[in-house]
Amino acid sequence: METMKKSVSRRRFVGALGAIGIGGAGLGIYQSTGSSQLFSTGRPDDEASGANDHASDHGDHGSSDDDDAVDWEEMDRKHEEGVNAFPAETEGRGNQPLEYEMDGDVKVFEIVCEKGEWEVEPGEVMEAWTYNGTVPGPEIRVTEGDKVRIHVHNEMNESTAIHWHGLKVPNSQDGVPFITQPPITPGESFTYEFEAKPAGTHMYHSHYNAAEQTAFGQVGAFIVEPKDPEERPEYDREYTILLNDWKLGYTINGKGFPATEPLMAKLGDRILIRYLNAGTMHHPMHLHGLTQKVISKDGYMLPEPYNCDNLDLAPGDRKEVIVEADEPGTWAMHCHVLTHAEGPHGMFGMVTAMIVEE
Ligand SMILES: [Cu+2]
């Protein structure tokens, strides 16, 4: 992973979005229906209030049947404001490599489950349940065939357990309380041990009160590099896009637009994107202007890779794509369930961009 924030030109981003015609057109239709709930960020406080900070103050004029009442200049301003803020600084960064120690030939990792806070968007600090303090949790990355030991410490006030989603582990290590192990009760620890296989993009996530624990942030990427790199296509850079919804809203790697990070590429680069959907909904990820070649599903290489620009991700899915950065510019990239991405106040949630520099 690379730090990308510094090299982004906001002017170029705005220019590119202008060129592809993202704007307020058509939003008057949404407003005349008065359905501001459509633009919920998905967070529980939104559900309670029936509105949210992306949609709430359009209620002032949203109930009007007269489209002329729409303050289009204000809508333009809000749209522009969000884009100008991208990529916005927030506290905390998930998905960072988890260090390990060697014990003989075993890679030993430590994971602490705890409740805390997480800044999802600038100024929007929410209750989060974390692995080692971040959302998503740190990235575990090993090589196929590695022996792995993971100590999980539960510092929460409810039980938990971790499931190694996509990995082929012995049944006793599968992480499902009352099926393969007792729950890890508050204050207790549990040690998982297995051989890392098969190669691919996998996940680890809570399998206890999982709807809540995972939605509050207890999920991370578990990458198993192939023993033989020749098995996989070559690439110049890679990015992980872990999607989640519900408790922290619609997020990419624990952040909502404009706090999401852009994917940077040099013209001609081949970019590997690892998509993981940890959420409760489908999220079709649409990349403007460039082709996504899907090479694997759940770690398994496709016998016939296929091209697309809109790639559906069901809950639990992991898909790997190669994008050839063959067209310069700032290309919007977002979930195409548009209520997860753009409302009367502009873009939010599952939105980022691939920036191809010449
Ligand atoms: Cu979505």
Q: pLDDT digits over 148-159, tens only? A: 999 999 999 999
pLDDT digits (tens, 9 = 90+) for 175-226: 999 999 999 999 999 999 999 999 999 999 999 999 999 999 999 999 999 9
Phi/psi at 54 (5° precision): -85, -15
Mean pLDDT for the stretch of residues 161-179: 98
Quote the ligand 1 centre to 159 CA distance (angstroms): 29
Asked whether residue 258 carries a pLDDT value surpassing 60, the answer given is yes
- Per DSSP, helices labelled H in 50-140 are 59-62, 72-85
Instruction: For residue 58, report the distance from its CA to the centre of ligand 1, in Å.
Output: 22
Question: What's the pTM?
Answer: 0.84
Ligand 1 centroid, distance to 183 Cα (angstroms): 31
What H or E segment, with its residue span, contains residue 27? Answer: helix 27-33
Q: What is the mean pLDDT of the chain?
A: 87
Ligand 1 centre distance from Cα of residue 283 (Å) = 4
In angstroms, what is the span from residue 84 Cα to ligand 1's centroid? 22
pLDDT confidence of residue 59: 35
311-358 pLDDT, tens per residue? 999 999 999 999 999 999 999 999 999 999 999 999 999 999 999 999
In the chain, what is the straight-line distance between the N-terminal and C-terminal CA atoms, in Å?
Answer: 20
- Tell me what pLDDT residue 65 has: 54
Give residue-wise pLDDT tens across range 268-313. 999 999 999 999 999 999 999 999 999 999 999 999 999 999 999 9
- What are phi and psi for residue 300, nearest 5 degrees? -85, 125
Contact 326, 287 (CB under 8 A): no
Q: Does 61 have pLDDT greater than 60?
A: no
Specify whether the CB–CB gap between 111 and 119 falls below 8 A. no
Task: Compare 162 and 17 and report the one with higher pLDDT.
Answer: 162
Per-residue confidence (pLDDT) for residue 70, from 0 to 100: 84
Rounded CA separation 154/144 (Å)? 28
**CB-proximal residues (5 Å) to ion ligand 1:** 283, 335, 337, 340
Q: What is the pLDDT of residue 46?
A: 57
The pLDDT assigned to 231 comes to 83
How far, in Å, is the centroid of ligand 1 from the Cα of 99? 31
Nearest to 202 by CA among 142, 146, 244, 154: 142
pLDDT value, residue 55: 39
Distance 184 CA to ligand 1 centre (A): 32
Quick one: CA dihedral 314, 320, 322, 323, positive or negative? positive
CA 282–ligand 1 middle distance (angstroms):
6
Q: Measure the CA–CA gap between 154 and 160, rounded to whole angstroms.
A: 7
**Rounded to the nearest whole angstrom, what is the distance from the C-alpha of residue 334 to the centroid of ligand 1?**
8
Q: How far is the CA of 277 from the centre of ligand 1 (A)?
A: 10
CA quadruple 79, 83, 89, 95: dihedral, nearest 10: 110
Ligand 1 geometric centre to CA of 256 (Å): 12
Sign of CA dihedral 356, 77, 257, 7: positive
- Give the number of other CB atoms < 10 A from CB of residue 23: 15
List, in order of start, the domains of the chain with CATH numbers.
101-226 (2.60.40.420)
Q: How far is the CA of 243 from the centre of ligand 1 (A)?
A: 8
Q: What is the pLDDT of residue 308?
A: 98
For residue 102, name the pLDDT band (cuts at 50, 70, 90): very high
Region 245-270 average pLDDT? 98
- CA of 276 from ligand 1 middle (Å) equals 12
What distance in angstroms lies between residue 338's CA and the mean position of ligand 1's atoms? 7
User: What's the pLDDT at 36?
Assistant: 45
Tell me, what's the pLDDT at 29?
30
For the stretch 17-35, pLDDT in tens is 433 333 333 323 333 333 4
What's the CA-to-centroid distance between 209 and ligand 1, angstroms? 22
Instruction: State yes or no: pLDDT of 15 exceeds 60.
Output: no
Question: How much is the pLDDT for 304?
Answer: 97
Å from CA of 168 to ligand 1 middle: 28
So what's the pLDDT on residue 13?
44
Q: What is the pLDDT of residue 39?
A: 62
- Whole-angstrom distance, CA of residue 173 vs CA of residue 151: 12
Chain-centre distance of CA 28, in angstroms?
30
What is the CA(150)–ligand 1 centre distance, in A? 32
How many A from CA of 320 to the centre of ligand 1?
18
Mean pLDDT of 77-101: 97
CA dist 171 and 168 (Å) reads 9
Residue 47 Cα to ligand 1 midpoint, Å, equals 17
The continuous run of DSSP H or E covering 333 comes out as: strand 329-335
What is the C-alpha to C-alpha distance for residues 345 and 130, in angstroms, rounded to an integer? 30
DSSP state string for 285-302:
EEESSS-EEEEEETTEEE
* 48 pLDDT tier (thresholds 50, 70, 90): very low
